[in-house]
Every structure is written in C-alpha cells, then in structure tokens.
Amino acid sequence: MAAARPELSLSLQFADPAHRAELPRHKVRRWIRAALEELPAEITVRIVGEEEGRSLNREFRGKDYATNVLTFDYAHEPVVAADLVLCAPVVAREAAEMKLPLADHYAHLLVHGTLHAQGFDHEQDDEAEVMEARETEILLGLGLHDPYAKD
C-alpha cells in the first residue's frame, strides 16, 4: 500500500502572468507534493518578473541579479512553511538554453525549492550530492529529465 501523501495548502500567485498557461494549479500541486517528504506543507508559489526577482535576490542574498528560484523557508516542522519565488524571464531563458520544455524546467525548480523548504541544501559537497540525488529521483518519478545527467 502506498504511503499517504502529506497535506498541501498551496497559494499560486502570478505577478508575471506570462507563463500562467504552463503552470496549471494541478500540475504545480503534483510537482510540489512529489518533493514533500512526510510533513504537511503550506507553500506559496509566486511567479515574478525580472525586476522583482532581482530586488528580492539583492535584498535577501546580497546578489544583484535575478535568479531562477528563491526559497524562503519559515518552518520545517510540524508544518513545512515556505514561499517559492520563481523569476519567469530567467526560467524561460534557462529552459531555452537547455532545450527543455518550459513546464519541465518549472517542475525541476519547484522540486528544488520544495526540497530547500524542507532543509535540503547544496552549499556543501556532501549535502549537494544528497539533494541532487533526491531531485533526480523525484523528477524521474514524474517522468521528467535528470537535471544532473552528464550528456
């Protein structure tokens, strides 16, 4: 018998509506739930433009550029609480560079951000291996690409 999936309270916000069609709520929910380990979660996903993405990255990480995904994790237990902020123009550029469908790249970044929200990290080599292996397992389970495969 399959394990019960954790509860997920999801808020999906589009400050930049360019990719709304690529991110139907049921798919976003599926991708995030696939990455949730055991605990229930309250996650807000916000799709932003370049200016907001850059501003948030500068303010919270001290890096003056827009990045693909920012994870603001507020609690790991008893409920995972986090905001995932994805910068639509950056995600689109990266997907095009990697020759991936846009939705597939969003799926990867949502899985990546959800793992961060649960305390996974990739700043240390040993932690990066664990996180990358988990990401690969989840994405392959969703029928998507392995983002870390060597071509």
**Structural domain boundaries of the chain?**
8-141
CATH numeric code, 8-141: 3.40.390.30
Residue with tokens 């929200």: 117
| Ranges 55-59, 79-83, 119-123, 142-146: which has the least confidence | 119-123
Residue 53: what pLDDT?
97
Residue 150: what pLDDT?
77
Residue 4: what pLDDT?
66
Q: Say whether pLDDT at 5 is over 80.
A: no
**Amino acid type, 101:** P
d(CA 60, CA 80): 20
Q: What is the mean pLDDT of the chain?
A: 93
Residue 1: what pLDDT?
44
Inter-CA distances, 71 with 9, 35, 38, 101, 114, Å? 16, 14, 19, 22, 8
d(CA 50, CA 112): 20
What is the 8-class DSSP label of residue 118?
T
Inter-CA distances, 45 with 35, 76, 123, Å? 14, 17, 23
Closest by alpha carbon to 12, among 104, 88, 85?
A: 85
Residue 3: what pLDDT?
57
Kindly report whether the global pTM for this prediction surpasses the value 0.75. yes
* Across 32-43, average pLDDT: 94
Residue with tokens 């995030």: 32
On whether the CB atoms of residues 6 and 33 are closer than 8 A, the answer is yes
* Across 11-26, average pLDDT: 95
Q: Say whether pLDDT at 72 is over 50.
A: yes
Query: Each residue of 79-124: pLDDT tens digit?
Result: 999 999 999 999 999 999 999 999 999 999 999 999 999 999 877 7
Residue 117: what pLDDT?
96
